Amino acid sequence: MSSPAFMPAGTVYGTLLNTLDEWEALSPQMAQPPYQGAPKAPVLYIKTANTWSASGSAVTVPAQTTDVEVGASIAMVIGTPAHRTTVRDALDHIAAYVLMNDLSLPHASFFRPPVKYKNLDGFLGIGPRLAPARQAGNPNHFQLEVRIDGIVRQTVDYARLVRPAAQLLADVSEFMTLRPGDVLLLGCGANRPLARAGQRIDISAPGLPALGTLSNTLVAEVA
């Protein structure tokens, strides 16, 4: 008997600018308006429950939209409350890891919260299986591959983060408690591929087969 698909019990927090390639790509703009400085705290956003799509399900692309941006990430599922945790203890709060497909309508400005770009129905694909943290090994060794219609279009190397998993968790828990069931994405990388209605997106983690493959197909909205 197969177990039902994992769905988060808590709030899902996404993380912007946590990969070195994302940071480098945006750094020429950071001193300019409207940002007027590089971010100091982790830059977070929330993927609300209406965005959650099980692996294997189709995601509807709204009419008048051509491309959707694919934000593949490995996410941490919190097991015990994390409040002002230290870097040294941070990973003890993680129950498991899971794949996520953080879809967005492409947007160039990160000044205002991205709700109308990121919180559309179905716009967060959720991996089919959890990898228990004890068996997953060091998150700094994780890697991702993103395929669109079977062709590798992006890889993400979690050795190249602004804040590695433990540091990210510690810095977020400085200002808010992460509760059991909450989920925190490690980051989606630069050069995120675009996909269109009719295309299939597959995300997998080489070296961590326990996570399985997160697959979603994009379909056009029926007017």
Stretch that binds other proteins, among 131-139, 153-161, 175-183, 196-204 (CB under 8 A): 175-183
10 binds other proteins (CB under 8 A): yes
Q: Which residue has the tokens 């009419």?
A: 63
Write down how long the chain is: 223
Residue 177 interacting with other proteins (CB under 8 A): yes
The Cα–Cα gap between 184 and 167 comes to 12
Note whether 214 and 125 are within 8 A (CB). Answer: yes
- Residue showing tokens 């200002």: 175
Binders of other proteins among residues 24 to 43 (CB under 8 A) are: 34-37, 39-41, 43
Q: Which two tokens stand for residue 217?
A: 């197909």
Please report whether residue 54 would count as binding other proteins according to CB under 8 A: no
The distance in angstroms from the start CA to the end CA of the chain is 38
Q: Report DSSP letters for 91-115, one per residue.
A: GGGEEEEEEEEEEE---S--SS--H
> How many chain residues are in contact with other proteins, going by CB under 8 A?
41
Query: In 10 A of CB 172, how many CB atoms?
Result: 22
Q: Which of 20, 44, 54, 87 binds other proteins (CB under 8 A)?
A: 44
What character string, x for contact with other proteins (CB under 8 A) and - otherwise, covers 79-118? Answer: ----x--------------------------xxxxxxx--
* Paired strand residues for 97: 76, 131
Q: Which stretch binds other proteins (CB under 8 A): 2-10, 87-95, 130-138, 210-218?
A: 2-10
Looking at beta carbons only, is 62 or 207 nearer to other proteins? 62
Residues that bind other proteins (CB under 8 A): 7-11, 13, 16-17, 34-37, 39-41, 43-46, 48-52, 62, 83, 110-116, 119-121, 175-177, 179, 182
